């Protein structure tokens, strides 16, 4: 008998001839997630499951917590491996039953017999194991409709596995399988959620934070660093770029119509983010914008903003309302950091009456007053990046 963590695949099982590629990415992400967990871990594949074995010093609880944040895994099951023999299965059930059942009062057995040569069929395995459980714990009751605990017995090609109900994994597909994206990361609630959603679809995430010293201070930057660290727990290592827009914002305030400040600034952000994306190999931009949430996120305003980008702009939060985004922020652990009261660069020069139905011609007329290339070049010269995670 050996303790084991079974990582059940999600969408990877549908990848056909590309499945080997996704498997290799997933194993690399699993190894990275376990690099700081106590113990030495090894891996084995068994029919849409990645089996994780640890040595005698292994921290299985800590490993399971880390692995629940690895995209590509549908569920994480802590259990035990044993010989493919009913006597050994019964022995493990007796010895480990309390740990599998926990505080449950009702249970059922669920058998998965992928080795069709095994002498007992699934209903027979369930009957034998259910009898063993009731013999060892007569206080338990069988409930096949809504049990508090499901004891799963898997008869695989090379071994048998026994485990309780698994915990939900991160789902999605492995990070890196969908290319690289540049996230416009503010200190707010929305953009970290957008980054998480894109990583779940396989995008490796880098991020750019726009600051305006002295109008925004070091506390605001530390807040963004903290958000990037939380994201890295899900996404893996990311590069966080910091770019100063102080000259740009002051130039806009001195030369352009106030109601257009936010949109003009957003267009500069898009240009800067595109330049960084091209330089560092990202294929798209990602923002946390949600349709109609603020004046700069109306359909007309988004169209004007997109005009300044020369690559796709992904907005995974576009159809979510604020409550839905907050729920996701709480789930991924960014919400409490996002609501810390530090200004970001978008709020410093917010117009009193922003234009919600801008015309591109109107925007271009304002930009004709500016040295766009020079302002952008000087802003990008302030870029500093650090590895997070």
CA pair distance 370, 367, nearest whole angstrom: 5
Q: What is the pLDDT of residue 330?
A: 98
Q: What is the pLDDT of residue 109?
A: 97
Q: What is the pLDDT of residue 215?
A: 86
Classify burial at 336, counting beta carbons within 10 Å of its beta carbon; exposed 0-12, middle 13-18, buried 19 or more.
exposed
Token pair of 165, please?
């109900």
Q: What is the pLDDT of residue 118?
A: 95
CA pair distance 46, 81, nearest whole angstrom: 12
- Domains contained in the chain, CATH given: 2-168 (3.30.2130.30), 180-388 (3.40.50.620)
Question: What distances in angstroms separate CA 16 from CA 13, 61, 156, 270, 339, one per listed residue?
Answer: 7, 33, 21, 37, 43
CA pair distance 345, 263, nearest whole angstrom: 13
Question: What distances in angstroms separate CA 194 from CA 85, 154, 211, 289, 337, one per listed residue?
Answer: 48, 37, 20, 8, 15
CA pair distance 331, 214, nearest whole angstrom: 33
- Considering the entire predicted model, what is its pTM? 0.91
CA pair distance 184, 173, nearest whole angstrom: 22
Residue pLDDT tens, the chain, 389 long: 789 999 999 899 888 888 889 999 999 999 999 999 999 999 988 778 999 999 999 999 999 999 999 999 999 999 999 999 999 999 999 999 999 998 999 999 999 999 999 999 999 999 999 999 999 999 999 999 999 999 999 999 889 999 998 899 999 999 999 999 999 999 999 999 999 999 999 999 999 999 999 888 889 999 999 999 999 999 999 999 999 999 999 999 999 998 999 999 999 999 999 999 999 999 999 999 999 888 889 999 999 999 999 999 999 999 999 999 999 999 999 999 999 987 665 555 676 667 778 899 999 999 999 999 999 999 999 999 999 98
Token pair of 332, please?
């991924």
CA pair distance 256, 253, nearest whole angstrom: 6
Q: Helices (DSSP H) in 177-313: which residue ranges? A: 190-200, 218-235, 246-255, 261-280, 299-306
Cβ atoms of residues 111 and 125 within 8 Å: yes
Residue 253: CB atoms within 10 A of its CB come to: 13
Element (H, E) at 204: strand 204-211
**Angle 193-199-204 (CA atoms, 0-180°, nearest 5)?**
125
């Amino acid at each position: 008998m050996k303790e084991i963590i079974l990582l059940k695949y999600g969408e990877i099982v549908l990848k056909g001839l590309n499945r080997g590629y996704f498997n290799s990415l997933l194993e690399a992400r699993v190894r990275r997630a376990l690099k700081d967990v106590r113990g030495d871990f090894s891996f084995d594949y068994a029919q849409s499951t990645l089996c994780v074995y640890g040595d005698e010093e292994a921290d299985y609880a800590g490993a399971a917590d880390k692995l629940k944040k690895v995209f590509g895994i549908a569920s994480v099951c802590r259990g035990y491996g044993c010989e493919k023999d009913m006597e050994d299965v019964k022995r493990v059930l007796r010895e480990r039953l309390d740990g599998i059942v926990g505080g449950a009062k009702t249970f059922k057995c669920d058998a998965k017999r992928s080795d069709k040569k095994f002498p007992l069929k699934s209903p027979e395995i369930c009957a034998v194991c259910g009898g063993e459980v009731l013999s060892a714990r007569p206080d338990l009751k069988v409930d096949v409709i809504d049990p508090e605990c499901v004891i799963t017995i898997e008869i695989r090609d090379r071994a048998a596995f026994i485990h309780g109900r698994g915990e939900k994994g991160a789902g999605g597909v492995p990070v890196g399988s969908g290319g690289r994206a540049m996230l416009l990361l503010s200190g707010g609630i929305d953009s970290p959620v957008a980054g998480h959603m894109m990583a779940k679809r396989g995008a490796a995430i880098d991020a750019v934070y726009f600051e305006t010293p002295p109008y925004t201070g070091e506390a605001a930057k530390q807040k963004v660093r903290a958000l990037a660290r939380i994201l890295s727990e899900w996404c893996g290592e990311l590069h966080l770029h910091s770019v100063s827009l102080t000259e740009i914002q002051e130039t806009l305030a001195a030369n352009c119509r106030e109601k257009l400040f936010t949109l003009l600034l957003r267009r500069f952000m898009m240009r800067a983010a595109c330049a960084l994306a091209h330089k560092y190999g990202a294929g798209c931009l990602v923002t946390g914008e949600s349709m109609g949430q603020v004046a700069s996120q109306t359909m007309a305003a988004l169209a004007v903003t997109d005009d300044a980008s020369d690559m796709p702009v992904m907005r995974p939060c576009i159809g979510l309302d604020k409550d839905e985004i907050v729920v996701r922020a709480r789930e991924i652990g960014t919400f409490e950091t996002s609501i810390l009261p530090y200004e970001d660069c978008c709020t410093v020069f917010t117009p009193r009456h922003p234009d919600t139905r801008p015309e591109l011609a109107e925007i271009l007329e304002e930009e004709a007053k500016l040295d766009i290339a020079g302002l952008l070049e000087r802003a990008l010269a302030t870029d500093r990046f650090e590895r997070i995670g």
